[in-house]
Chains A and B, each alone.
Chain A
């Protein structure tokens, strides 16, 4: 049944630090690379004039213009938020979409998906993309085939996007545990939900950008003008000033 569980034991998800993300797109590439196994994430015309393909993670770039000071660029990764009240799950007519009771991960059973696309319509975050080759909906699995995989070294048992992020902007953990890194980060940094008014109760949290340092631009060279030369340099300074 595609009814949502009333409670999940864990609430696994990501805390994404918008202050640290540099928009390098490494998480996009790592995600595509890892999830391109099996039925994969197909591309259409990948080396042609109009390349297109299914991705589970996209990184936008936005510009904030504050009332005072220079504009700030914020890179904004967007993937499945593994919502507690996921709107994509109950709309599914076949039971292919489901939310796991044990850890709250939202998944698609690709063998049961008829490719109607209604789940993607129901998602406000654009987290689901249809695979044009196999006609099945694809979405972030939170790398469910990595995080519980005993064959991988322990440091690799995190989602591929988290493992690859060179700036440590992506944090993986259990939001149901108040002592987890992600819970503490969210509390300390004021992590927030995307579009909370739609009632989806996302698990993933976004940590807002911090204010940038503002250098004193009034007279950056002012200290250099006050240098008082002494000794030989002082005598030279005086002589040269008279010529």
Chain B
């Protein structure tokens, strides 16, 4: 799949933002005054900024309100509703923390659950697609939720939770890489099974592409067949694993719990998160590629 920068930026930034909002909603930490303003402000800017980035890949973003209507069938619609509900539910909690109003925190817990629900819905947009075997697996929601948890914990300055979630992230990343590598082959789809040629009917035999249906790439090939940088997979996987998970876990253990330390760890984590999310898209193979003899 084509790794669109807007979608990578959206999923990484808003995932981290909603992760931070979940921690703040749960009162971990529960800052007061200006520290609260900056903490909540960071969570809201990441979450909202990510949502805005996601509209850059739409053909007609001005119609975005319609995306709130199909929650009964569409994970994309559910994501839109959950995200707005989360941002609205947490607004009074953020206000209370900033101005020291001391309002009850029950709404914060609801908002934290909605933040997790938003991340889960985002992941399910990808995990539901049977056409992309690498994504069509429980490791996809696990990856998104743990990524948001680890990133959120680092931004929230939660060393203990951050350490555990970063370690968990390393395991989930490894699982997603190894399970994902065999996912397409496990479906046993080939050019022959996709077309039925050579396997169904009286003419049986090996099938290959004789001539492509068009002379230059179309939308399908640009969007769903991405070949350019798969050779960079191994170094990028190492970068993702080390920067997003292993290095943050180590740094959380050895650095003092100071704001500058969390800023450094967050930057390292973010670098790894972008590499991991780029791989998530670039490595995903759509079955439509079979018709073109490409993947």
Contacts and interface: CB of A to CB of B under 8 A. Distances in A.
Interface of A: 1-3, 18, 23, 28, 50-55, 58-67, 72-74, 76, 78, 87, 89-96, 112-118, 120-126, 129-132, 134-137, 190, 192, 194-195, 197-199, 206, 208-212
Contacts of B219: 52, 54, 120, 129-130, 132
B288 A124 contact: yes
Given A90-B73, A114-B59, A134-B59, A52 B218 contact: yes
Given A65-B208, A114-B60, A117-B59, 17 more contacts: A51-B216, A52-B217, A61-B213, A67-B205, A74-B203, A92-B70, A95-B70, A113-B60, A115-B58, A116-B76, A117-B57, A122-B129, A129-B220, A195-B193, A195-B287, A209-B201, A210-B203
Nearest to A71: B205
Contact of A113 (B59, B73, B74): B59
A120 B212 CA distance: 20
Contacts of A3: 72-73
A101 B132 CA distance: 29
A78 B191 CA distance: 13
Contacts of A76: 195, 197, 291
Contacts of B215: 51
B128 A91 contact: yes
Q: Lowest 10 A-B CB distances belong to which pairs? A: A115-B59, A135-B59, A208-B201, A94-B66, A66-B205, A90-B73, A126-B288, A93-B76, A58-B213, A61-B211
Given A92-B70, A124-B131, A129 B60 contact: no
Contacts of A59: 213
Given A2-B73, A3-B72, A135-B59, A208 B191 contact: no
A92 B74 contact: yes
A28 B215 CA distance: 14
Interface string B244-267: 000000000000000000000000
A203 to B, nearest CB: 16
B125 interface: yes
Contacts of A117: 57, 59, 223
B45 interface: no
Contacts of B72: 1, 3
A76 B63 CA distance: 37
A202 B253 CA distance: 55
Given A50-B216, A112-B66, A195-B193, A190 B58 contact: no
A190 B196 CA distance: 12
B130 interface: yes
B289 to A, nearest CB: 9
Nearest to A117: B223
Given A1-B70, A93-B70, A94-B67, A129 B218 contact: yes
Given A87-B131, A208-B203, A114 B288 contact: no
B225 to A, nearest CB: 10
Contacts of B195: 60, 62, 76, 194
Q: Is the interface of A mostly helix, strand, loop or mixed?
A: loop
Nearest to A200: B130
A60 B220 CA distance: 14
Contacts of B286: 121
B208 A194 contact: no
Given A61-B211, A64-B198, A198-B131, A55 B206 contact: no
Interface in B166-222: 187, 189, 191, 193-198, 200-220
Given A58-B213, A62-B191, A208-B196, A114 B67 contact: yes
A52 B213 contact: no
Contacts of A65: 205-208
Nearest to A112: B66
A120 B222 CA distance: 12
B59 A136 contact: yes
B198 A95 contact: no
Interface in B59-84: 59-61, 63-64, 66-67, 69-70, 72-77, 80
11 contacts: A1-B72, A2-B70, A18-B197, A58-B218, A60-B213, A62-B209, A93-B80, A113-B63, A136-B60, A194-B196, A211-B203
A103 B214 CA distance: 31
Contacts of B112: none
A227 B76 CA distance: 79
A118 B125 contact: yes
A53 B197 CA distance: 28
Contacts of A131: 59
A208 B66 contact: no
Nearest to B4: A117
Contacts of A18: 197
A112 B80 CA distance: 16
B131 to A, nearest CB: 5
B224 interface: yes
